Amino acid sequence: MVIRWPDESFESPWSVENPGEISKLVDLLVMVHETCGDLCVGMESTGTYGEAVRRALTVAGLTVQRISGKAASDYKEIFDGVPSQHDGKDAAIIAELAAYGKGTLAVPSTD
């Protein structure tokens, strides 16, 4: 997980264990939202492992955008000029694409 600030800077990647630390992540992101204002969370569009995170974020009232794997893959060299891929870079790319509004809004949970 990476936070991208409005000035286009990034925090160092955070490691979050799924499912054990989901509630801690949500609490931190709610605090960022309450402190800093507008917050959009970007997530990969694939993988069932993220569904518990997406649900917890939407239940907490946070905006979640799903970023397609193709969009993230296509952007990796544009992002930093290098076609490499690793978890921290992937998270930063997803954060940046979400900031640019390049995702699809995740459907809020009704539970």
User: pLDDT by residue (tens digit) across 73-110?
Assistant: 999 999 999 999 899 999 999 999 999 999 999 876 56
Q: What percent of the chain has pLDDT over 70?
A: 96
Contact (Cβ atoms closer than 8 angstroms) between residue 3 and residue 9? no
Pairing of strands 63-67, 40-44: parallel
Q: Is pLDDT of 1 > 80?
A: yes
CA proximity to 45, closest of 89, 111, 106, 88: 106
Strands (E), 1-111: 40-44, 63-67, 104-105
Q: What is the mean pLDDT of the chain?
A: 92
pTM: 0.89
User: pLDDT by residue (tens digit) across 22-40?
Assistant: 999 999 999 999 999 989 9
- Peptide bond before 13: cis, by omega within 30 degrees of 0? no
